């Protein structure tokens, strides 16, 4: 089955930019979606279709996807962005929905 690989953790200072990667075989050919999960809470969709934002999600959250890597970028990081972030794709051969292992973003 399709495997998504994320770094376990990313640290960033307030006001700086955090980049969270999601690796997969020719992931650039897929639509990638990103979720934010704060401690003790349910996941929240922050980016869908590689680079679209649901209503209510700040413009500071953006996405890109090419080759074997998709990236979630959080600009002007705030303390409230500290959370786990998961990428997700649809694996068409199996019709499975697949999540990456998650990345913990720590705001220094």
The least CB distance from residue 44 to other proteins, in Å, is 7
Closer CB to other proteins, 14 or 54, in the complex: 54
Closer CB to other proteins, 75 or 98, in the complex: 98
The least CB distance from residue 85 to other proteins, in Å, is 11
Closer CB to other proteins, 13 or 43, in the complex: 43
Q: For residue 35, give the 3-state DSSP assignment.
A: strand
The least CB distance from residue 95 to other proteins, in Å, is 5
What residues contact residue 58 under an 8 Å CB cut-off, 6+ apart? none
What distance in Å separates the CA atoms of residue 40 and residue 25, rounded to the nearest whole number? 32
Which token pair is 82? Answer: 């500290």
**Interacting residue ranges for other proteins, rule: CB under 8 A:** 1, 30-31, 33, 35, 37, 41-45, 48-50, 52, 54, 86, 88-90, 94-102
Q: What is the DSSP letter of 73?
A: E
| CA triple 87-88-92, angle to 5 deg | 150
């Amino acid at each position: 089955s399709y495997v998504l690989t994320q770094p376990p953790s990313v640290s960033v200072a307030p006001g700086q930019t955090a980049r969270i990667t999601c690796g997969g075989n020719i992931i650039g050919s897929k639509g990638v979606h990103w979720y934010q999960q704060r401690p003790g809470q349910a996941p929240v969709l922050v980016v869908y279709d590689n680079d679209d934002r649901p209503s209510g999600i700040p413009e500071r959250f953006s996405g890109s996807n090419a080759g074997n890597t998709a990236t979630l970028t959080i600009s002007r990081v705030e303390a409230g962005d500290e959370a786990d972030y998961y990428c997700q794709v649809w694996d068409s051969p199996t019709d499975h929905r697949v999540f990456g292992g998650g990345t913990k973003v720590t705001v220094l």
